[in-house]
A and B are shown apart, each in its own frame.
Chain A
Amino acid sequence: MGKFNVLEHELVPEHYLVSEDEEEEILKQLGVKKEQLPKIKKSDAVLRVLERKYGHIPVGSLIKIVRKSPTAGRIVVYRVVVRD
């Protein structure tokens, strides 16, 4: 049996690792510094699944989350990986 993948659960939104090249542009577009973004812990179950796909994800990486929204349908939000 394969490992359990939280991303496949209905209640867990889509998560992607943002590549380093894109990072700068996204931050510029949002007009914020990285520390001002919401956070996601390094130990988050989703990150463990993402590491299987992308390899090691260092602290400070940007995670893109696409989730359902009752007002907007689909929205994109970003979180920065922090140590726990």
Chain B
Amino acid sequence: MMKRAFGLTKRINSIKFALLSPEEIRKMSAVKVITADTYDDDGFPIEKGLMDLHMGVIEPGLRCKTCGGKVDECPGHFGHIELAMPVIHVGFVKNIKNYLDATCRECGRIKLKDDEIEIYKQKIEEAKKMGASPIQLLLINKKIIDEAASRPICPHCGAEQKKITLDKPTTFREEGRKLTPKEIRERLEKIPDEDLPLLGINPETARPEWMVLTVLPVPPVNVRPTITLETGERSEDDLTHKLVDIIRINQRLRENRDSGAPQLIIEDLWELLQYHVTTYFDNQTSGIPPARHRSGRPLKTLVQRLKGKEGRFRSNLSGKRVNFSSRTVISPEPFLSINEVGVPEAAARELTVPIAVTAHNIEKMREIVRRGPHPQGDKYIPGANYVIRNDGRRIKITERNAEDVAKKLEIGWIVERHLTNGDIVLFNRQPSLHRMSMMGHLVRVLPDRTFRFNLAVCPPYNADFDGDEMNLHVLQSEEARAEAKILMLVQEHILSPRFGGPIIGGLHDHITAMFLLTYQNPKFSREEALHILSYLNYDKLPEPHRDENGNEFYYGKDLFSLILPKGLNMEFKSKICDPTVCNHKCVYEKCPIDAYVIIRDGKLIAGTIDENAIGSMKGKLLDRIAKMGSDIARKFIDDLTRLAIGVISYRGFTSGIDDEDIPEEALIQIHEIIQESIKKADELIELYKQGLLQPAPGRSLEETLEMEIMRVLAHARDEAGKIASRHLGLENPSVIMARSGARASMLNLSQMAGSIGQQSVRGQRLHRGYQDRTLPHFKRGDLGAKARGFVESSYKKGLSPTEYFFHSMGGREGLVDTAVRTSRSGYMQRRLINALEDLKVDEDRKVVDTAGNVVQFLYGEDGVDPTRSSGGENINMEEVLTEVLGEKYLLRRRK
């Protein structure tokens, strides 16, 4: 059994950073590597080579020559390379530069007078006592170094100092003359231990000359294993490749140096060695070309292993791959509850839940184990893949041993049974930008291969079904399952903490369907009503009405009322409300376009149910019901989506481009209006050219002209839209969608039917492209509407070539914007999360960090949980008054 530790078991008190001295590197080394070869012809590691068995084993069968361990036992051991000449460690060039600047080139002392040294030392001591952070200490050191570096003459020996420059990445020059790493090392050696604390070095753990390497540690082979391909071909790790380069050059350098070769050749080789050691540490050092593989791919060396999204920290330490998870394409399933998720049978049989065998369930568990890993039959029943015995041994269940294992099953064993209906799982879609990106769902095992869920749950995941994939995680402990059920279940997230309103709710067809069901209260025959209600779990029809012929019928509003919770009273304006219809004086239940919703005791009396009632993010009705409790809200949304599907699939609903057909006269009228506006724009330009245009306050003449033209043309488009709208009534499917808030807007429709209007980039009319003109089709300096991106055509009519081009320019900006926005906001999100991830709200609603430091004395300063608020407010007086006073208040509120 796993042992669980609660609370802190160990606490890091401090971390010490130090440098490895050459002696230390030699001491920890298991072998001195001298040949660049790896394996001999038999494939056996060559002695004193890069794969020497002293550095660990990666091949089964062999034993480590240092510790005698086999593959999984030996942790690996370091080796070392003796460098023929010292080289600079790229990671420390900045430090080396600082030390060279701050110390004397002759005597090695820090260039500060003795009394100054004393003062600074005291200052550091004091800061340490005050508990200064390492960053604060670093700042003090920086100040000291800057001060010392500014002295032209050494206060100790009086030697004149020379200016040292750094030629990135690793070349130091003293007044133009190159300093070899050897010289640099000698200078650093001269700095006395007493001066080191001033430079930010603890002399007990580090010496500055160790920043110039004379010995290079060779990492264990476990860190850079050889890959054997299926073809039997061996391929070495990038680090090994780099070490081969280093050893080769090192050897040549040594030979040339020992045989007294010309200085020039030695210097070249020395520089090459420096290059290889530099790229061994960091192959993205600026100023030098990255070392490449034979294929041209840049090598991944030490820094590359750690850095960035794919580096060790972000990819292996902050994030890990997990078991009991699955991923597949998602698709919609309106007959599932919002709390459910459809899981393909194939996935359900792979994903398992560990169940402890007890006296109460042993017979049931036996039955499940007996079924084995692949139970047959038409209906899905869970089997099991593994059992875990009391001693922790794991037994795989096969068809063969299932019966046997079932018989042997004992209390205390654990059965890993298949996922089954009602299990709770976590469901997630990336990017996980808010907490609703990962919610708890109840499993429904379904045929086929996709995850399925209710469409109302698309907004919190920001999911659609154009190929999106999602992840599903099966919880493995009772505590986790309890937490998920209580805290993470979808129904607990109907209200978003982002704006205190519902994020889960009706969308698209749900809204259209509710409009069709309630607008002007249509009548449905008994058969129709039965059909629609068959989608719901209602076994009783409401009391029917009778027409003049005595035939039974039902009102749409009555059918809708069936799903409303009892006791609900509210009033609000529908999305379709148009104040011009009633001259800005709402007439409430007598509204000619049925746009004032009145609900009394859970019955819809008047008004149209549309986006303002049930839309996700906007639905007022939904908002109220969500606050009546999550169970009621879940039931309402489940019923709502089912009812909507019933209505819309019974009635049928289609939209086509002929929705935007308008009469010939209207088209002519639109054309005339636009022509007139273009002429008006031309007149403005003429006025401007004659210098008669009056500049608007605070604007130049040119800006004024642009503004005026934009205004005139925008007006033209709006007028065209108005004319088009006049011929697009509420019987038109496209208009139904736009006006009810289901999808699209009237602007979209008028762009299809009337005119597309002005295209813009960065909020301005198009003006760039060619010299003084947008396209060579126009005269230079033409400021007219058509030359600057005004599109007269409608989408339906089609665009002229120039219009098409302009439209693409405007469209491009939108694409670039979203691309830039997502990457930038992603990075912002990361920084925000890193800064805030450890904060928590404690028992008395303080916001504190891990050390208990107070960040906020009361969460959000008002202590309000936005998910339990009304649009962020503590109390919604309107709701309270409606609750208490009922209709009396609602009627009084109208005035």
A71 with B861: CB separation less than 8 A? yes
Contacts of A52 in B (CB 8 A): none
User: B839-875, CB under 8 A of A: which get 1 and which 0?
Assistant: 0000010101001111001101111100000001000
Which chain A residue lies CB-closest to B844? A31
Which one of A11-19, A42-50, A74-82 contacts B? Answer: A74-82
Question: Could you tell me the distance between the alpha carbons of A36 and B857 in the complex, rounded to whole angstroms?
Answer: 11
A75 with B861: CB separation less than 8 A? yes
Which chain B residue lies CB-closest to A68? B861
- A1 CB within 8 Å of chain B: no
B residues near A (Cβ < 8 Å) are 130, 844, 846, 848, 851-854, 857-858, 860-864, 872
A77 with B862: CB separation less than 8 A? no
In angstroms, how far is the closest chain B Cβ from the Cβ of A63? 13
A36, A70, A75: the one within 8 Å of B851 (CB) = A36
Closest 9 CB pairs of A and B: A72-B862, A71-B862, A69-B861, A72-B861, A36-B853, A36-B852, A75-B861, A71-B861, A77-B857
**Most chain B Cβ neighbours within 10 Å, of A32, A33, A75, A83:** A32
- A37 CB within 8 Å of chain B: yes
User: A48-76, CB under 8 A of B: which get 1 and which 0?
Assistant: 00000000000000000000011110011
B854, B858, B860, B864: the one within 8 Å of A37 (CB) = B854
Residues of chain A at interface, number, CB under 8 A: 16
Contacts of B844 in A (CB 8 A): 31
In angstroms, how far is the closest chain B Cβ from the Cβ of A57? 19
Q: A30-B854, A83-B130 are in contact. Are A36 and B848 (CB under 8 A)?
A: yes
Contacts of B860 in A (CB 8 A): 71-72
Of residues 1 through 37 on chain A, the ones whose CB sits less than 8 Å from some CB of chain B are: 30-33, 36-37
Q: List 9 A–B pairs whose Cβ atoms lie within 8 Å, in order of A's numbering.
A: A30-B846, A30-B857, A32-B852, A38-B854, A71-B861, A71-B862, A75-B857, A75-B862, A78-B857
Question: Could you tell me the distance between the alpha carbons of A36 and B847 in the complex, rounded to whole angstroms?
Answer: 12
In angstroms, how far is the closest chain A Cβ from the Cβ of B420? 45
B854 with A32: CB separation less than 8 A? yes
In angstroms, how far is the closest chain B Cβ from the Cβ of A32? 6
Contacts of B863 in A (CB 8 A): 72
Which chain A residue lies CB-closest to B853? A36
Give me 14 other A-B pairs in contact (C-beta within 8 A), A31-B844, A37-B854, A75-B861 excluded. Answer: A30-B854, A32-B846, A32-B848, A32-B852, A32-B854, A36-B853, A37-B853, A69-B861, A70-B861, A71-B860, A72-B862, A75-B857, A75-B858, A76-B857
Question: Could you tell me the distance between the alpha carbons of A77 and B854 in the complex, rounded to whole angstroms?
Answer: 10
Question: Could you tell me the distance between the alpha carbons of A70 and B190 in the complex, rounded to whole angstroms?
Answer: 61
In angstroms, how far is the closest chain A Cβ from the Cβ of B497? 14
Question: Could you tell me the distance between the alpha carbons of A72 and B864 in the complex, rounded to whole angstroms?
Answer: 9
In angstroms, how far is the closest chain A Cβ from the Cβ of B500? 12
Question: Could you tell me the distance between the alpha carbons of A44 and B846 in the complex, rounded to whole angstroms?
Answer: 25
A residues near B (Cβ < 8 Å) are 30-33, 36-38, 69-72, 75-78, 83
**Most chain A Cβ neighbours within 10 Å, of B858, B861, B864, B872:** B861
Which chain B residue lies CB-closest to A29? B844
In angstroms, how far is the closest chain A Cβ from the Cβ of B59? 56
Question: Could you tell me the distance between the alpha carbons of A78 and B863 in the complex, rounded to whole angstroms?
Answer: 17
Question: Could you tell me the distance between the alpha carbons of A69 and B863 in the complex, rounded to whole angstroms?
Answer: 12
Which chain A residue lies CB-closest to B866? A71
Contacts of B858 in A (CB 8 A): 72, 75
Contacts of A31 in B (CB 8 A): 844, 846
Contacts of B853 in A (CB 8 A): 36-38
Question: Could you tell me the distance between the alpha carbons of A58 and B858 in the complex, rounded to whole angstroms?
Answer: 27
**Most chain A Cβ neighbours within 10 Å, of B130, B851, B853:** B853
Question: Could you tell me the distance between the alpha carbons of A71 and B857 in the complex, rounded to whole angstroms?
Answer: 13
Contacts of B852 in A (CB 8 A): 32-33, 36
Question: Could you tell me the distance between the alpha carbons of A70 and B862 in the complex, rounded to whole angstroms?
Answer: 9
**Most chain A Cβ neighbours within 10 Å, of B851, B852, B864:** B852
Question: Could you tell me the distance between the alpha carbons of A36 and B842 in the complex, rounded to whole angstroms?
Answer: 14
In angstroms, how far is the closest chain B Cβ from the Cβ of A40? 13
Contacts of B851 in A (CB 8 A): 36
Contacts of A72 in B (CB 8 A): 858, 860-863
Question: Could you tell me the distance between the alpha carbons of A71 and B864 in the complex, rounded to whole angstroms?
Answer: 9
Question: Could you tell me the distance between the alpha carbons of A73 and B810 in the complex, rounded to whole angstroms?
Answer: 44
Question: Could you tell me the distance between the alpha carbons of A75 and B858 in the complex, rounded to whole angstroms?
Answer: 9
Which chain B residue lies CB-closest to A39? B853
Contacts of B861 in A (CB 8 A): 69-72, 75
In angstroms, how far is the closest chain A Cβ from the Cβ of B246? 50
B130 with A36: CB separation less than 8 A? no
In angstroms, how far is the closest chain A Cβ from the Cβ of B645? 41
Question: Could you tell me the distance between the alpha carbons of A71 and B861 in the complex, rounded to whole angstroms?
Answer: 7
Which chain B residue lies CB-closest to A72? B862
Question: Could you tell me the distance between the alpha carbons of A30 and B848 in the complex, rounded to whole angstroms?
Answer: 12
Question: Could you tell me the distance between the alpha carbons of A37 and B857 in the complex, rounded to whole angstroms?
Answer: 9
Question: Could you tell me the distance between the alpha carbons of A77 and B858 in the complex, rounded to whole angstroms?
Answer: 9
Contacts of A70 in B (CB 8 A): 861
Which chain B residue lies CB-closest to A69? B861
**Most chain A Cβ neighbours within 10 Å, of B846, B854, B863, B872:** B854
Question: Could you tell me the distance between the alpha carbons of A55 and B854 in the complex, rounded to whole angstroms?
Answer: 28
In angstroms, how far is the closest chain A Cβ from the Cβ of B634? 29
Which chain B residue lies CB-closest to A38? B854
In angstroms, how far is the closest chain A Cβ from the Cβ of B601? 35
In angstroms, how far is the closest chain A Cβ from the Cβ of B860? 5
In angstroms, how far is the closest chain B Cβ from the Cβ of A29? 9
Which chain A residue lies CB-closest to B863? A72
Which chain A residue lies CB-closest to B843? A31
Which chain B residue lies CB-closest to A35? B853
Question: Could you tell me the distance between the alpha carbons of A72 and B873 in the complex, rounded to whole angstroms?
Answer: 9
Which chain B residue lies CB-closest to A78? B857
In angstroms, how far is the closest chain A Cβ from the Cβ of B855? 8
In angstroms, how far is the closest chain A Cβ from the Cβ of B534? 48
Contacts of A71 in B (CB 8 A): 860-862, 864, 872
Question: Could you tell me the distance between the alpha carbons of A36 and B844 in the complex, rounded to whole angstroms?
Answer: 15
In angstroms, how far is the closest chain B Cβ from the Cβ of A49? 23
Contacts of A37 in B (CB 8 A): 853-854
B854 with A36: CB separation less than 8 A? yes
Contacts of B862 in A (CB 8 A): 69, 71-72, 75
In angstroms, how far is the closest chain A Cβ from the Cβ of B127? 11
In angstroms, how far is the closest chain A Cβ from the Cβ of B844? 6
Contacts of A33 in B (CB 8 A): 852
Which chain A residue lies CB-closest to B860? A71
Question: Could you tell me the distance between the alpha carbons of A37 and B848 in the complex, rounded to whole angstroms?
Answer: 10
Question: Could you tell me the distance between the alpha carbons of A33 and B864 in the complex, rounded to whole angstroms?
Answer: 25
**Most chain B Cβ neighbours within 10 Å, of A30, A36, A69, A76:** A36
Contacts of A69 in B (CB 8 A): 861-862
Contacts of A36 in B (CB 8 A): 848, 851-854
Which chain A residue lies CB-closest to B852? A36
In angstroms, how far is the closest chain A Cβ from the Cβ of B126? 11
Contacts of A38 in B (CB 8 A): 853-854
Contacts of B130 in A (CB 8 A): 83
Which chain A residue lies CB-closest to B872? A71
In angstroms, how far is the closest chain A Cβ from the Cβ of B132? 12
Which chain B residue lies CB-closest to A31? B844
Question: Could you tell me the distance between the alpha carbons of A11 and B872 in the complex, rounded to whole angstroms?
Answer: 25
Contacts of B848 in A (CB 8 A): 32, 36
Contacts of B854 in A (CB 8 A): 30, 32, 36-38
Question: Could you tell me the distance between the alpha carbons of A72 and B130 in the complex, rounded to whole angstroms?
Answer: 36
Which chain B residue lies CB-closest to A79? B854
Question: Could you tell me the distance between the alpha carbons of A48 and B845 in the complex, rounded to whole angstroms?
Answer: 33
Which chain B residue lies CB-closest to A73? B862
Question: Could you tell me the distance between the alpha carbons of A37 and B851 in the complex, rounded to whole angstroms?
Answer: 11
In angstroms, how far is the closest chain B Cβ from the Cβ of A12? 18
Question: Could you tell me the distance between the alpha carbons of A78 and B858 in the complex, rounded to whole angstroms?
Answer: 12
In angstroms, how far is the closest chain A Cβ from the Cβ of B776? 54
In angstroms, how far is the closest chain B Cβ from the Cβ of A46? 18
Which chain B residue lies CB-closest to A71? B862
Question: Could you tell me the distance between the alpha carbons of A75 and B854 in the complex, rounded to whole angstroms?
Answer: 15
In angstroms, how far is the closest chain A Cβ from the Cβ of B556? 42
In angstroms, how far is the closest chain B Cβ from the Cβ of A33? 8
In angstroms, how far is the closest chain B Cβ from the Cβ of A47? 19
Question: Could you tell me the distance between the alpha carbons of A72 and B874 in the complex, rounded to whole angstroms?
Answer: 9
